[in-house]
Chain A
Amino acid sequence: MALPVRSELQKIFRQRALFAAGFLAVPAFAVLAKIFTDGILFARVARALPAAGIDPVLSAARSLGVADNSLAQLFFALGVASIFVVDYRFATWRHLIPRRSRLAFWSAKSVAALACLSLSLLLVALGDLGVTLVLAVLRGQQIGDFTWAISVPVFFLALLVAVAELLALTAMTALLTVVFRSSMAAVLSVFLFGLATVLLQVYLGSSSELGWTPSAAASLARSGVFDGGRFQVVPYLSGICILLCWGVVCGVLGFVLFQRQELPSE
């Protein structure tokens, strides 16, 4: 199992433009947006205010909410679809299928996609942490004054939500890539689905009616971490469970389709 994962990672790393668009663009935009918004705030207001109360880890935890952004999901879906579509695009299944079981390739692609997405989330968090630290130091705060330990559990809880949300996104994108054998069709479908659920949520004004959608489930889980000042187990676990259900159902469905898929020409 370990060896196909390495080959999948090698393939996506060698497609530099797709790797950058899929997994580096979101961290880059997130850091730029952070610099822009916090920089303006710093220049206009914050410089004059006392530096107390800045928590870089909590800020990094909040930055992981980028996984819920429709535009970020479009880029992430592009990266995931690139991993799953490569052997259809270049008709190379013929070299691979006789060598291992289809389950090994499906798992390897899924693991490679999740590893790249985790790297992306890590870069988002590190970027946010770095920008927050730099701006705080510019405001005169000492590194020793930061309250790191308090927000570390919050960071890991938020990371788990983001990973679960991207797991659901990965499984859905993989399923659609197998169905369409095309990354564009899969990416657009995932994007439109995500956008539609967000719009419906806005229109209905409450996530309760649409609690089953990945976006609402992620919001529910995040509310358990960030709202009310203390961790709320029920909404958090409910959200995570719904996201995992999406991941498992789409993942199993995608694998079953792939397992039975005829490849008379890739």
Chain B
Amino acid sequence: MTAIELNDVSKSFGFGATRIHALEALSLSIPSQGVYGLLGPNGAGKSTLLRMICGLVRPDRGGISLFGEPAGPPTRARLGALIDAPTFYPFMTAREFLAMLASVSGVRADVPALLRRVDLTRAADQKVSGFSLGMRQRLGIAAALVARPAAVILDEPTNGLDPDGMIEIRHLIRRLAQEEGLAVLLSSHLLDEVEKVADRVAILNRGRLVAEGKVGDLLGGEERLWLDVAQQEPVLEKLGEVAWVEGKGVAVRIARAEVPRLLSSLLSENISVYEAKWIRPDLETFFLAETRDSKA
């Protein structure tokens, strides 16, 4: 079963020449368990998509289903969301804010436990206006969890957190998915973060879906040998289709056993090799390749 399903969703803002297509015929299925990463450069349509799921923005075309039913107030009540920068009533304390959200949701929430979970116990009775960005981020995550949701939408949840805080939130996200069985839709610019926690990812660019699948499958390409050589042309000529320019060097698709022979043949042809290293496929490289391709 899917937690969130988008069918052929489109959304534009503005009129005439200033019209911007935020999303174009987007279809996605987010499973009811696990972490689903949403990636995309600025302006790709991620925030519009998240706001649309939460009912803040209406699609021009297409439909959204939540937990197998058309999206509406009853199904949206099963979502928890942290969208964009966390915003609060500055005149309330963290405890009051969470209690208020729980009462609006019609649930009895264990606010002290929730505050402990995001490490805000000591600041529980401070007004939110005095919170640092990291504390606001933690309170935003607590707000998303206050009504015991079945699916959580987290938009840049580690923004403003220190490295320890980022690791804690990453663990929290994994726990939510693995131990509590929630669906987590995680939007982030931090590709490394998404790669570490997400089971599946979707990459958006200019409102379109450019790649989607399991992280392992998307990065399923072979490792490649990267060479920093004095002259690239002779290497490319010698190796043909298995070599290409990558950055300031040459990448070679080659088996590990073949490397000593390759290096000695380059040296024998007086091609200086300054550095040779194995490069594992990562999400950043994949992301850049996908978003650059579609820009072109």
| A202 contacts chain B at the CB level, 8 A cutoff | no
Q: With the chains together, A4 CA to B83 CA distance in Å?
A: 21
Distance in angstroms between the alpha carbons of A14 and B55 in the assembled complex: 28
A90 within 8 A of B: yes
Number of B positions contacting A (CB below 8 A): 30
Contact A97-B143, Cβ < 8 Å, known A11-B89, A14-B92, A264-B13:
no
**Bound-complex Cα distance A264 to B49 (A):** 10
- B101 close to A95 (CB less than 8 A): yes
A residues contacting the other copy or chain, number (CB 8 A): 29
Minimum Cβ distance to chain B for residue A146 (Å): 44
The one of B57, B92, B101, B143 in contact with A262, judged by C-beta atoms closer than 8 angstroms, is B57
Cβ–Cβ contact B76 & A98, under 8 A: yes
Whether B87 pairs with A91 at a CB distance below 8 angstroms is yes
Q: A7-B104, A10-B100 are in contact. Are A97 and B87 (CB under 8 A)?
A: no
Bitwise interface map of B from 87 to 103 toward A, beta carbon under 8 Å scored 1, else 0: 11111100010001101
Say yes or no: A99 contacts B77, CB within 8 Å.
Answer: yes
Q: Are A99 and B56 in contact (CB under 8 A)?
A: no
Query: Smallest Cβ distance from A107 to chain B, in angstroms?
Result: 13
Known A100-B73, A263-B56, A264-B57; contact A94-B84, beta-carbon cutoff 8 A: yes
Whether B89 and A86, one on each chain, are in contact in the complex, defined by CB atoms closer than 8 angstroms, is yes
- Residues of B52-95 whose CB lies within 8 A of A: 54-58, 73, 76-77, 79, 81, 83-84, 87-92
Say how far B48's CB is from chain A's closest CB, in angstroms: 7
Which chain A residues border B56 with CB–CB below 8 Å? 93-94, 97, 262-264
Known contacts A94-B56, A94-B84, A262-B57: does B89 contact A99 (CB below 8 Å)?
A: no
In angstroms, Cα B143 to Cα A266, docked, is: 18
Q: State A15–B88 Cα separation when bound (angstroms).
A: 14
Report the Cα distance A42→B201, complex, angstroms: 81
Task: State whether the Cβ of A92 lies closer than 8 Å to any Cβ in chain B.
Answer: yes
B residues near A263, Cβ cutoff 8 Å: 51, 56-57
Within 8 A of B (CB), among A71-90: 86, 90
Nearest CB in chain B to that of A103: its residue: B73
B132 touches A (CB below 8 Å):
no
Taken together as a complex, chains A and B put the C-alpha atoms of A264 and B55 apart, in Å, by 10
Contact A264 B48 (CB under 8 A): yes
Asked whether A134 is an interface residue with its Cβ less than 8 Å from the other chain, the reply is: no
* Measured CA separation A10–B98 after assembly (Å): 13
Bound state CA distance, A7 and B73, in angstroms? 18
- Which residues of B are found within 8 Å of A95, using beta-carbon distances? 81, 87, 101, 143
Q: Tell me how far the C-beta of B19 lies from the nearest C-beta in chain A, rounded to whole angstroms.
A: 14
Kindly state the separation between the CA atoms of A34 and B6 in the bound complex, as whole angstroms.
63
| CB atoms of B87 and A90 under 8 A apart | yes
* Cβ B81 vs Cβ A100 within 8 A: no
Per-residue CB contact flags for chain A residues 91-121 toward chain B (1 = under 8 Å, else 0) read 1111111111110100000000000000000
Contacts of B91 in A (CB 8 A): 14-15
- From 1 to 47 in chain A, residues with beta carbon under 8 angstroms from any chain B beta carbon are 3-4, 6-7, 10-11, 14-15
B231 within 8 A of A: no
A99 lies within 8 A of B100 (CB) = no
In the assembled complex, the Cα of A185 lies from the Cα of B248 at a distance in Å of: 58
Nearest chain A CB to B22 CB, angstrom units: 8
Q: Are B87 and A94 in contact (CB under 8 A)?
A: yes
Contact B147 A90 (CB under 8 A): no
Identity of the chain A residue whose Cβ is nearest the Cβ of B76 in the assembled complex: A98
A94, B83: Cβ atoms under 8 Å? yes
Q: Which residues of B contact A266 (CB under 8 A)?
A: 87
A90 & B90 in contact (Cβ 8 Å cutoff):
yes
Q: Which residues of B contact A99 (CB under 8 A)?
A: 76-77, 101, 104-105, 147
Least Cβ–Cβ distance between A12 and chain B, in angstroms: 10
A265 contact set on B, CB distance < 8 A: 84
* B77 partner residues in chain A, CB cutoff 8 A: 98-100
Q: Which of A15, A98, A262 contacts B54 (CB 8 A)?
A: A98
Q: How far is the CB of B9 from chain A (nearest CB, A)?
A: 15
| Separation of A6 and B91 alpha carbons in the complex (Å) | 16
Residue on A with the closest CB to B107?
A99
Q: Please name all residues of chain A whose beta carbon is closer than 8 Å to the beta carbon of B48 when the two chains form the complex.
A: 264
Name 5 A/B residue pairs within 8 A (Cβ), A-sorted. A94-B81, A97-B54, A99-B77, A99-B104, A260-B58
6 smallest beta-carbon distances between A and B, as pairs: A101-B73, A263-B56, A91-B87, A98-B76, A14-B91, A98-B54
- Additional A-B contacts beyond A100-B77, A262-B58 (7; CB < 8 A): A11-B92, A94-B87, A95-B81, A96-B104, A98-B55, A100-B104, A263-B57
